[in-house]
Amino acid sequence: MTAKLNLTLKVWRQVHAKAKGEFKTYKVHDISPDMSFLEMLDELNNELIRKGEEPVAFDHDCREGICGTCGMMINGQAHGPERLTTTCQLHMRKFKNGDTIVIEPWRARAFPVLRDLVVDRGSFDRIQQAGGYTSINVGNAPDGNSVPIPKTQADPAFASATCLGCGACVAACKNASAMLFVGAKVSQFALLPQGQPERAQRALSMVAQMDEEAFGNCTNTYECEAACPVGISVDNIARLNREYIRASVCSNVMP
């Protein structure tokens, strides 16, 4: 039988966005190593509810590593110690009996804390709305291979499109930069024929919105790539820079 874990949790508690937050310490007992990290938090919340206390608020949805809403800092690492893993996919066997685990929300000006571990990531939505679309009326799904796309373009476009929009790149960056996220969203369209009509305008608009949301600048430490749960490459940042410079020199395109 696998030994159960007894852990000390230091969890960030904040009643609402304007309230002063603080870390509170909780003990959890008999945690199965096969539990996910969110299941462990469920156990904590069940115990808090039994005691008549407020449960810890945290984001989650699919719990399958697809949606990216479960993001939180675990011992100073976005999504925890396991690489290429979302918080919901992180299992408690990555921790040892008696460990102390510090759990806090994303720390970024552009991601204000709403409550406890929940942050407002609406800034990402607004960036995508600023330019993450195409004007091409694609109609019904076309027959396979009806629009030939070289594999050298299709593969990186697909890789860029796998970005979850979880915000781990921002949380891990010392400058709270969103360049990896924006780079991925610009790249997935720039590499495909359907994305060409708005290509220049998209780069200008999304970068302008990113700046308006008060994200920091990129200083190429690559921590964003290391923290990304799906391994989005910093090549997307280089591509974003090229797309932005290219669009900036087009006299007929205004931000």
Checking if the pLDDT of 77 tops 90, the result is: yes
pLDDT tens per residue across span 10-27: 999 999 999 999 999 999
Range of the domain at 50: 5-114
Q: Are residues 12 and 95 in the same domain?
A: yes
- Report the relative pairing of strands 5-13 and 100-104 from DSSP bridges: parallel
Give me the pLDDT at residue 252, please: 61
What would the two tokens of residue 88 be? 């919901």
pLDDT tens per residue across span 236-252: 999 999 999 999 997 56
Comparing CA positions, the residue from 51, 33, 52, 31 lying closest to residue 42 is 31
CATH number, domain of 66, equals 3.10.20.30
Q: Are residues 36 and 19 in the same domain?
A: yes
Reduced to 3 states (helix: H, G, I; strand: E, B; else coil), residue 154 is: helix
Q: Are residues 128 and 232 in the same domain?
A: yes
Q: Are residues 196 and 244 in the same domain?
A: yes
CATH number, domain of 206, equals 1.10.1060.10
pLDDT tens per residue across span 120-137: 999 999 999 998 777 777
- Return d(Cα 210, Cα 107) in angstroms, integer: 17
- Return d(Cα 44, Cα 50) in angstroms, integer: 10
